[in-house]
Structure 1
Amino acid sequence: MKVLAVSGYKPAELGIFQPDAKEIDYIKKALEKRIIAFVEEGIEWIVISGQPGVELWTADVVLSLKTTYPELKLAVLTPFLNQQKIWPEQAKQDYEFILSHADFVDSISKQEYDNPGQLRAKNDFIILKTDGLLLLYTEEQEGTPKYYLHSAQRRGEQADYPIFFITPEDLEETAREEKEKEFWGQSDE
């Protein structure tokens, strides 16, 4: 595998409403752990569509990993032009930062939002152009990631297309590990 799509929940689907919520740190740590493992196995590109939440957090992780793994590249394939138009100001700023630092940026549809078919086309296109999918998702909590999952499952019926998950259990384990590090780090002072 050389090209990995990454997606997952949007912030509101996770009950995260503040850009500095501690849960985001745990999600980023879980993403970092998995992405490093993939890079060490040969992944060269991470592909996202630029959605707020897991995708933009993934971009933050990829950009921070570039100092250690300069061969790692980030592609942002947006579903349509100006997808950020109706987002809150902080999300727009984060998005613009990611776009300005990504290795490749393009819009799948060369027009602004017109219909939900553009979102389906985005999922199918990204799945078609990648070698596997990493998804922060659980079937117990449906949400927008299910559409990526369905597209990946359809592709998997035609060809080998692995789907990897980050689950709530993975996040709980990461949070536990990070809290232990914080505890032991503080007690050394």
Structure 2
Amino acid sequence: MGDRLWISGYRSWELSVHGDADPKLTVIKYLLKNELVTALEDGLEWVITGGELGVEQWSLEVALELRKDYPQLKTALMTPFTDFGSHWNETNLGKLEALQSQVTFTRATSDAPYQQPAQLSGYNRFMAQHTDGALFLYDTDYPGKAEYLYNVAIAESKRRDYPVKALSMDDLEDAARELSDNS
């Protein structure tokens, strides 16, 4: 997957994950952790993602936890515009701000507040061009918001050596079984 891994995927509501105590979140983070540990053992240096509620924030939480065992791991939270998350409720905005304060690097790819959809497509291009591979918790049989990002990553993989791994619903079911067997 390379030194710099772009991670994205479903939003929390697309997976019906309601709150930090939702048992589905335990399975999702278990699967993400296993993927990241494998990537770390293969030389991963950076986890780079956005701040969307769901896979993006969860992957940062997992990466931050992994820094205890892999202190060389760096994390970046990139947003498409400067006022990203400003319309969220206080709880969700607080989670975003807490993550921004813990990551190695955070910045918006546009130096302006949201103005136009071009900022989003610019963000997508930036993420693909400034990473060495992508990991998505995204199943093409279950379309969602991450489809646009996933398609950008796939397009990048056709231009250069850019591995894209998509974790499917079957992968989540396997992780749930594995977790259940180990407990």
TM-score normalised by the chain length of structure 2: 0.95
Aligned to 2:34: 33
Aligned to 1:86: 87
Aligned to 2:54: 53
For residue 114 of structure 1, report the CA deviation from its aligned partner: 1.2
Aligned to 2:108: 107
For residue 150 of structure 1, report the CA deviation from its aligned partner: 1.3
* Secondary structure of the corresponding residue to residue 83 of structure 1: coil
Aligned to 1:118: 119
* Secondary structure of the corresponding residue to residue 38 of structure 2: helix
Structure 2 Cα separation of the partners of residues 96 and 37 of structure 1: 28
Output one character per residue of 1:69-128: Cα deviation in whole Å (capped at 9) or x when no partner: 000110111111121111122221211111001001111011111122211111110110
Which amino acid in the other structure matches residue 45 of structure 1? W
Structure 2 Cα separation of the partners of residues 119 and 20 of structure 1: 31
For residue 175 of structure 1, report the CA deviation from its aligned partner: 1.1
Aligned to 2:172: 171
Aligned to 1:73: 74
Structure 2 Cα separation of the partners of residues 112 and 29 of structure 1: 35
Structure 2 Cα separation of the partners of residues 150 and 45 of structure 1: 22
* Secondary structure of the corresponding residue to residue 75 of structure 1: strand
Aligned to 1:14: 15
Counting aligned pairs with the same residue, the percent is 32
* Secondary structure of the corresponding residue to residue 109 of structure 1: coil
Q: How many residues align?
A: 182
Kindly name which structure, 1 or 2, has the bigger radius of gyration based on alpha carbons: 1
Aligned to 1:131: 132
Where does the alignment leave 5 or more consecutive residues of structure 2 unmatched?
A: none
Structure 2 Cα separation of the partners of residues 180 and 134 of structure 1: 25
* Secondary structure of the corresponding residue to residue 177 of structure 1: helix
TM-score normalised by the chain length of structure 1: 0.93
* Secondary structure of the corresponding residue to residue 86 of structure 2: helix
Structure 2 Cα separation of the partners of residues 16 and 160 of structure 1: 34
For residue 41 of structure 1, report the CA deviation from its aligned partner: 0.1
* Secondary structure of the corresponding residue to residue 85 of structure 1: coil
Structure 2 Cα separation of the partners of residues 158 and 90 of structure 1: 40
